[in-house]
Chains A and B, each alone.
Chain A
Amino acid sequence: MVVSYKWIQEYFDEPLPEAGELADLLSVHSFEIEGVEEKGDDTLIDIDVLPNRAHDCLNHRGIAKEVGSILGRDLHIDPLRDNFLELPESDEIKAEVESGLEDVSTIAILVKGVSIKESPDWLKEKLTNLGQRSINNIVDITNYIMLNMGQPLHAFDAKAFNGVLKIKRAEEGEKLTLLGDIKVELTKEDLVVSDGKKALDVAGIRGGEDAEIDEGTTDIIISSSHFNPLMVRKTAQRLKLWTDAAKRFQNDPTPYFAEHGARECLEMILDLAGGEVIGMSRAGGALPEYAKVELSIERANSILGLSLSRENVLDILKRLGASYSGGDVLTVEIPHERMDLRIEEDLIEEIGRLHGYEKLPEMDLPKADAPEVHKEFLVLDLIRDLLTSEGFSEVYTYSLRGKGELKLQNALNTEKSYLRTDVVEGLEEAIVLNKNNLPLLGKEFVDIFEVGNVFGKEERTVLGIATNRKKKEKIFVDLQEKLEEVLGIKIEGKISENVFEADLTSVIKNIEGKNLSEYEAPNVQFVIPSAYPFALRDVAVWTPEGTKEDAVSELIQGEAGTLLSRLDLFDEFSKDGKTSFAYHLVFQSGTETLKEEEINTIMERVYETLRTQEGFEIR
């Protein structure tokens, strides 16, 4: 919800803190702030209103009330605390709600002789400032009311209705063309605004073309309703029409909104479009009673870890606009628009956040002994410990695959539409991925493993070990024996291609008398691998016997410079009073693809440096 700072200011006599400061206050006490942006002489604040407050805060009045609660200031005008409309009934307008519909109420007001024209500049500006398009005075007024106090309304051309506005279920298969030339087919699960027979509007979502207001319109019906939030939600989901109105109605704003919205809208229409009120009609469920919630001050303190006085708590309740009675246990009457405050814990949250979470004291949990280690965690940790010490690195691969037994209903794509039945495919892919980078890793082979869940008839935890070495069977048997020794349990597994996979179910179930091994956390700052190709060169050099290996590698590194990303000794032997060292040199740049000549030049310098050492000879 993007709100205008100037608009919020209209709710207060005294100047508010400047916009950035206000955004900070809101973020610490109320909502996450997505952004603050200056626009002309105004500032727009983008507020992330979550589902718990979407019923009352997707509008300026709601945000202003939050600001008032934080600052301890009253709103000097409040559309939600005004009187209800009292207007005569008329034969020319009758509101109805189909029997059996729950949680629906509606108000219809007939106004004749309005002038449809452009909105005044101040109104256009307010709407366009927030990214809304100005259409005409009537439509703009309904949008303004929604943004101002939260009630989505619709104004219809009265001639489409014939004196009756009825909220009902659509007929199965009923067709309707909505504003914007959107054609929809409806079902009995959809609520519509109708003339008693045919649908003219998908309730709470979007109006139909047949009742659209245009330049020729003189008589209008203002329709202000409360709709069953679940029905609006399901219809909006099915039609994929998440309009501003639908987003609000699905969150169940209080039915009081419809009353106050109707009054605000009528006043503004008479003011800006003229016309004469013919009559008004209400139908549907009665307004709910104000909720009452018991609040124990002691319990509030014992949940928050604070020691607030009764005065502190009463002050916060006042700031919320709640009234109360009682002693240590208060009975709190909740403002009608706060549909989220229904149990004691809800009020405790209000107290905590308005008091300020920065005031929570330091409080340690009582001391407790470390419990016995979880068996699955223990098994996985012992496996990780052993296999990494054997030179194998642990990978995580994707659980979502192109084939399997358990299929997703709503996959991202066909390659990720099943859950894996094994880790074999992922590990084989990992071998391919890493095979070409071995010189960069200073490795001769890809030796990896994964522990993770697979999904056949049931969900199981497995271990997969993979290598692209030649004699893998022997390697797997060797590792299997070592694992069995560490875990104290026999491991069954099978080999396919490059992977040995073992089910860990019985290992986890039966492990006994083992402890976690010593562990030290790595203190590593990650270096992004270069996106550019590397080049591999070898050099072998004879040196006088007794030459230190690190002296040789230092010479090479010193000459090769920063483009040398790895230097690995791969062979060393002595013969006839001489020692041979053989190295892999890996060259790579973080910013470009290295040219052949560039590397050759560096290698020439390396050869030259080695050659000129006493007793050195390039092989």
Chain B
Amino acid sequence: MKGSRHPLSHTIREMYDIFSDMGFAIDMGPEVETEHYNFDALNVPKDHPARDMQDTFYLENGKVLRTHTSPVQIHHMENNKPPIRTIVAGRVYRNEATDATHEAQFHQIEGLVVDKGITLAHLKTTLMKALSKYFGKETQLRFRPGYFPFVEPGVEVDVLWEMPNGEKKWLEVLGAGMIHPNVLKGVGIDPKEYSGFAFGTGLERLSMFKHGIEDTRRFSNPDLRTIDQF
């Protein structure tokens, strides 16, 4: 009998296939990060209320467990010159109580594009095409204003989702926006010459939507009754 990939490994591979067709590379990075990469370089200053948006695990050695995969954006932009197209996937951590939609460890995927003339409209079209492929059906998107310190403008992305009872609802799937000029400047990219977009979401959330998984805690529970369904 064939074994199963973990459902999130499926999602990573699916996303990779979708985005590499659009010219995106993939990158990965460490889970233990400095505050510089996790916060400062992403325009989240020390002692700013924006830091409270993410409950952070601090290590005794002064580092942090990354609260998002966005530090990899910074490493990637430091090591590569525009044009840049990459996605990033990996494990992240938040110091919060566990329930059906929260887990102290979870996984994110995000994307990054930096080039001349990149617009918010590019972001919307790229996401619409990628999510339509992932969900296997034409997927309608909507942008709402959102706040993430490393993008400006920042948006929340909803998809119009058909519930099991046939009702259609807007459900939040991603956070995104145009890369904040402070972030570009910080990695030596001139924001007057280049612009870019970034987007990110929980891999769990994508998998839960697509496969109808009801509880995020199933992903870090090595229970084959779940995994062997995939």
Q: Do A and B bind each other?
A: yes
Q: Tell me if A222 is interfacial: C-beta within 8 Å of chain B.
A: no
Known: A374-B27, A406-B59. A448 touches B222 (CB 8 A): yes
Q: Please pick, from B21, B128, B144, B220, the residue contacting A357 in the complex, using a CB distance under 8 A.
A: B144
Q: B14 is contacted by which of A306, A360, A521 (Cβ under 8 Å)?
A: A521
- Scan residues 132-173 of chain B and give those whose CB is less than 8 A from a CB of chain A: 136, 142-147, 149, 152-156
Assess whether A437 is in contact with B153, with CB atoms less than 8 Å apart: no
Which segment of A88-96, A391-399, A486-494, A575-583 sits at the interface?
Answer: A391-399
| Chain B residue contacts of A126, Cβ below 8 A | none
Please name all residues of chain A whose beta carbon is closer than 8 Å to the beta carbon of B17 when the two chains form the complex.
519, 521
Point out the residues of chain B lying under 8 angstroms from A372, CB to CB.
25
Provide the residues of chain B in CB contact with A397, threshold 8 Å. 220, 222
Q: Hey, what's the 0/1 contact readout for A392-413 against B, CB within 8 Å counting as 1?
A: 1111111110000011111110
| B residues near A158, Cβ cutoff 8 Å | none
> Are B61 and A406 within 8 A (Cβ)?
yes
- Cross-chain contact A529 with B125 (CB below 8 angstroms): no
Q: Evaluate whether A365 and B22 lie within 8 angstroms (CB atoms) in the complex, with A353-B153, A400-B104 already known.
A: yes
Residues of A within 8 A of B81 (CB): none
Determine the chain B residues whose CB is within 8 A of the CB of A521 once the complex forms: 10, 13-14, 17
**CB-nearest residue of chain A relative to B105?**
A399
Which residue of B58, B85, B145 is within 8 Å of A368 (Cβ)?
Answer: B85
Contacts A368-B23, A392-B3 given: A304-B120 contact, CB under 8 Å? yes
The CA-CA distance from A464 to B145 in the complex, in Å, is: 43
Cα distance A392–B124 when bound, in Å? 39
- Point out the residues of chain A lying under 8 angstroms from B213, CB to CB: 526
Q: Mark B202-230, 1 if CB is under 8 A from A, else 0.
A: 00000000011110000111111111111
Please report the total number of A residues contacting B with Cβ < 8 Å: 101
| Contact between chains at B121 and A361 (CB < 8 Å) | yes
Per-residue CB contact flags for chain B residues 175-199 toward chain A (1 = under 8 Å, else 0) read 0001011000000000000010000
**Is A51 in contact with B226, judged by CB distance below 8 angstroms?**
no
A234 within 8 Å of B (CB atoms): yes
Closest Cβ–Cβ distance, residue A441 to chain B (whole Å)? 5
CA distance A357 to B145 in the complex (A): 9
A-B CB pair tally, cutoff 8 Å = 262
CA distance A399 to B106 in the complex (A): 10
- Mask: chain A, 404-433; 1 = CB below 8 Å from B; 0 = not: 001111111000100100000011011001
Question: Of A396, A453, A525, which contacts B220 at CB under 8 A?
Answer: A396
* Pairwise interchain contact B143-A526, C-beta atoms closer than 8 A: no
Contact residue among A54, A380, A455 (Cβ-Cβ distance under 8 Å from B49): A54
Determine the chain B residues whose CB is within 8 A of the CB of A306 once the complex forms: 121
Interface members, chain B 5-33 (any A CB < 8 Å): 5-6, 8-10, 13-14, 16-17, 20-28, 30-32
CB neighbours of B119 from chain A (8 A): 302-305, 363
Q: Is A52 at the interface (CB under 8 A from chain B)? A: yes
Residues of the A chain whose Cβ atoms lie less than 8 Å from the Cβ of B47: 230, 233-234
Quick one: which of A351-392 are within 8 Å of B by CB?
352-353, 357-358, 360-365, 367-374, 376-377, 380-381, 384, 387-392
The answer to whether A434 and B16 touch (CB under 8 A), given A363-B119, A399-B91, A525-B211, is no
Contacts of A251 in B (CB 8 A): 49
Tell me which of B3, B65, B181, B212 contacts A525 (CB under 8 A): B212
The answer for the CA separation of A455 and B156 in the assembled complex, in Å, is 34
Q: Report the minimal beta-carbon distance from A466 to chain B, rounded to whole angstroms.
A: 10
Given A388-B2, A393-B227, A397-B222 in contact, is the A371-B144 Cβ separation under 8 Å? no
Check A395–B195 contact: CB distance below 8 A.
Answer: no
Query: By the criterion CB–CB under 8 Å, are A345 and B153 in contact?
Result: yes
Q: Which residues of B contact A391 (CB under 8 A)?
A: 1-3
- When the two chains form their complex, are residues B91 and A389 in contact, meaning their CB atoms are under 8 A apart? no
Q: Give B89-130 as 1s and 0s: 1 = Cβ < 8 Å from A's Cβ atoms.
A: 001010101000000110000000100011111101110110
- The CA-CA distance from A130 to B1 in the complex, in Å, is 60
* Among B28, B142, B226, contact of A28 (Cβ-Cβ < 8 Å): B142
Whether A371 lies near B25 (C-beta < 8 A) is yes
Contacts of A452 in B (CB 8 A): 91
**Among candidates A32, A50, A442, residue contacting B53 with C-beta atoms closer than 8 Å:** A50
Interface size on B, residues (CB 8 A): 90
Query: Smallest CB-CB separation from B62: which chain A residue?
Result: A409
Q: How far is the CA of A334 from the CA of B159 in the complex (A)?
A: 34
In the assembled complex, the CB of A514 is this many whole angstroms from the nearest CB of chain B, namely 15
B6 with A394: CB separation less than 8 A: yes
Chain B residues near A388 (CB-CB < 8 A)? 2-5
Contacts of A155 in B (CB 8 A): none
Set B5, B23, B32: member contacting A384, Cβ < 8 A: B5
Contact of A527 with B by CB under 8 A: yes
> Once the chains bind, are B225 and A437 in contact (CB under 8 Å)?
yes
**B149–chain A nearest beta-carbon distance, Å:** 8
In the complex, whether A271 has a CB less than 8 A from a CB of chain B is no
Which chain B residue has the least Cβ–Cβ distance from A508? Answer: B28
* A205 interface contact, C-beta 8 A: no
Q: Kindly name the residue among A370, A372, A373, A396 whose own CB sees the greatest number of chain B CB atoms within 10 A.
A: A396
Q: Whose C-beta in chain A lies nearest to the C-beta of B152?
A: A345
State in angstroms the CA–CA spacing of A52 and B61 once bound together: 31
A512 within 8 A of B: no
Instruction: Write out the residue numbers on chain B whose beta carbons fall within 8 Å of the beta carbon of A399.
Output: 31, 91, 93, 105
Shortest Cβ gap from A1 to chain B (Å): 14
Asked if A31 is at the interface of the complex by the 8 Å CB criterion, the answer is yes
Tell me, yes or no, whether B57 is within 8 Å of chain A by CB: yes
Cβ contact of A459, chosen from B30, B49, B57, B147, cutoff 8 A: B30
User: Which one of A360, A376, A394, A442 contacts B3 once the chains associate, using CB atoms below 8 Å?
Assistant: A394
Please pick, from A50, A303, A392, A529, the residue contacting B120 in the complex, using a CB distance under 8 A. Answer: A303
**CB-CB contacts of A66-109 with B at 8 A, as 1s and 0s?**
00000000000000000000000000000000000000000000
A387 to chain B, nearest CB (A): 7
User: Is B222 a contact partner of A430 (Cβ separation < 8 A)?
Assistant: yes
Give complex CA distance A364, B13 in Å.
23
The answer to whether B57 touches A387 (Cβ under 8 A) is: no
B222 near A429: Cβ-Cβ < 8 Å: yes
Cβ A398 vs Cβ B105 within 8 A: yes
- B229 → chain A closest CB, angstroms: 6
**A371 — which chain B residues lie within 8 A by C-beta?**
20, 23-25, 85
The interface residues of chain B lying within 8 Å CB-to-CB of A27 are 144
Q: Are B228 and A30 in contact (CB under 8 A)?
A: no
A230 partner residues in chain B, CB cutoff 8 A: 47
- Choose one: B6, B93, B120; the contact of A352 (CB below 8 Å): B120
Please report the C-alpha to C-alpha distance between residue A442 and residue B212 in the assembled complex, in whole angstroms.
Answer: 23
Asked whether, in the complex, the Cβ of B144 is within 8 Å of the Cβ of A32, the reply is yes
- Picked from B20, B21, B27, B219, the residue with its CB within 8 Å of the CB of A396 is B219
Q: Quick check: is A343 within 8 A (CB to CB) of the other chain?
A: yes
Q: Output the residue of B32, B126, B147, B178 with the most chain A CB within 10 A.
A: B147
**Beta-carbon contacts of B41-80 to A below 8 Å, as 1s and 0s?**
0000001111011000111110001000000000000000
Contact of B143 among A357, A410, A429 (CB under 8 A): A357
Question: Does A440 lie at the interface of the complex (its beta carbon under 8 Å from any beta carbon of B)?
Answer: yes
* A-side contacts of B104, CB under 8 Å: 400, 412, 416
- Of chain A, the residue at the smallest CB distance from B195 is A303
Q: List 14 contacting pairs A-B, 8 Å CB cutoff, sorted by A.
A: A32-B156, A50-B146, A50-B147, A51-B53, A345-B153, A360-B121, A393-B6, A396-B6, A407-B60, A412-B104, A429-B222, A452-B91, A522-B230, A524-B211
Q: A390-B3, A399-B93 are in contact. List 15 more A-B contacts (CB 8 A).
A: A50-B53, A233-B49, A306-B121, A345-B152, A363-B122, A365-B22, A365-B125, A368-B85, A371-B85, A380-B9, A389-B2, A392-B3, A398-B105, A433-B223, A437-B225
Ranked 7 nearest A-B pairs via Cβ: A305-B121, A368-B23, A305-B119, A395-B222, A349-B153, A357-B143, A430-B222
